[in-house]
Structure 1
Amino acid sequence: MLRTYTVEDSQYIEESHYELYHQEFHYDLSFKEFINERVAGFVSRDSHEENIWIVEHDGERKGSISIHKVDNEIAQLGLFLVNPSVRGHGYGQKLMETAIQFCEGLSYKSIVLVTNQELKGARRIYEKNGFKRVEVWTETKSNKMLNEEKWVLELEKY
């Protein structure tokens, strides 16, 4: 089941991202600070043009995705996570579809995201949903050298 986040989900989002990325990719505490800032921004802005969705499976939170307003035409996808215990159940795709449909219902013309080449499963979902990689660069983040990527999905208006 997917639902819209509540302020009570903030700690879950922050902790689940840090724990998973630390365990799977060895990210350091600076990543946790980054996630904390992103979540705090959502809470403080409380805009109808932004949202976070939470996956609930058997009564437990198991994933998330967010849409953040960059400007009147561009949204940014982020906070995308599916707990390993429920991967393969279609939650990643459902989160992605929900975020895209949300943006299509507003005035956004495109959705951007920044990821890195380590996140192979997420990158497959981005490709499947029409995102195109438009930029690649190398940057040190979370005490690691990462090949960062910017992806864009142009939204079609009917």
Structure 2
Amino acid sequence: MIRPYTVDDVDYIVDSHYELYHQEFHYDLTFKEFIQERVNGFVSRDSQEENIWVIDIHGARKGSISINKVDSETAQLGLFLVDPKLRGEGYGQRLIETAIHFCERTNYKRIMLVTNQELRGARVIYKKQGFKLIEEWSGLHSNKEMIEERWILELV
């Protein structure tokens, strides 16, 4: 089941992102701080135009995705994670669809996201859902040089 987050999910969202990205991509603690700031922002704003959803399988949290407001026409997708044991079972696609449907109901005209080239599996799902790569640049994050990307999905 995919459900909206509660404050009880905050530690899971932060810890699961850090643990997975540290293990798979060697991200450092600055990534955990970044995720903590993002999640704290959602909690403090408590906006009807933003949300985080969690994959919940019999009470066990197994992934997440978020939408936050950039401006009145643009939402940003983030906090996208699926437990590695569930990859290939369609949960990533369902999370993205949940976020897109929320944006359509909230009358956003586009969804943007920022990712990096290392996240190959997520990039495949973004492309399949109609997101278009519009920009690339180099950046230093988590003590790593990365090729970052901005993707856009036009909803109108």
**1:56 aligns to what SS in structure 2?**
strand
| 2:84 paired residue number | 84
Q: Distance in 1 between matches of 2:107 and 2:85?
A: 36
Q: Distance in 1 between matches of 2:41 and 2:82?
A: 22
**2:107 aligns to what SS in structure 1?**
coil
**1:61 aligns to what SS in structure 2?**
strand
Identity over aligned residues, as a percent?
Answer: 69
**2:118 aligns to what SS in structure 1?**
coil
| 1:123 paired residue number | 123
User: Where in structure 1 are there 5+ consecutive unaligned residues?
Assistant: none
| 1:111 paired residue number | 111
CA deviations 1:75-98 (Å, max 9, x no partner) are 000000001011111100000000
By how many angstroms is 1:42 displaced? 0.1
By how many angstroms is 1:107 displaced? 2.1
**2:55 aligns to what SS in structure 1?**
strand
**2:85 aligns to what SS in structure 1?**
helix
Number of aligned residue pairs: 156
| 1:153 paired residue number | 153
Q: Distance in 1 between matches of 2:41 and 2:106?
A: 20
By how many angstroms is 1:58 displaced? 3.6
By how many angstroms is 1:56 displaced? 1.2
| 1:71 paired residue number | 71
**1:78 aligns to what SS in structure 2?**
strand
Matching residue's letter, 2:57: H
Matching residue's letter, 1:67: I
Q: Which deviates the most, 146-155 or 56-65?
A: 56-65
Matching residue's letter, 1:68: N
Matching residue's letter, 1:40: N
**1:139 aligns to what SS in structure 2?**
strand
What TM-score, normalized to structure 2? Answer: 0.99
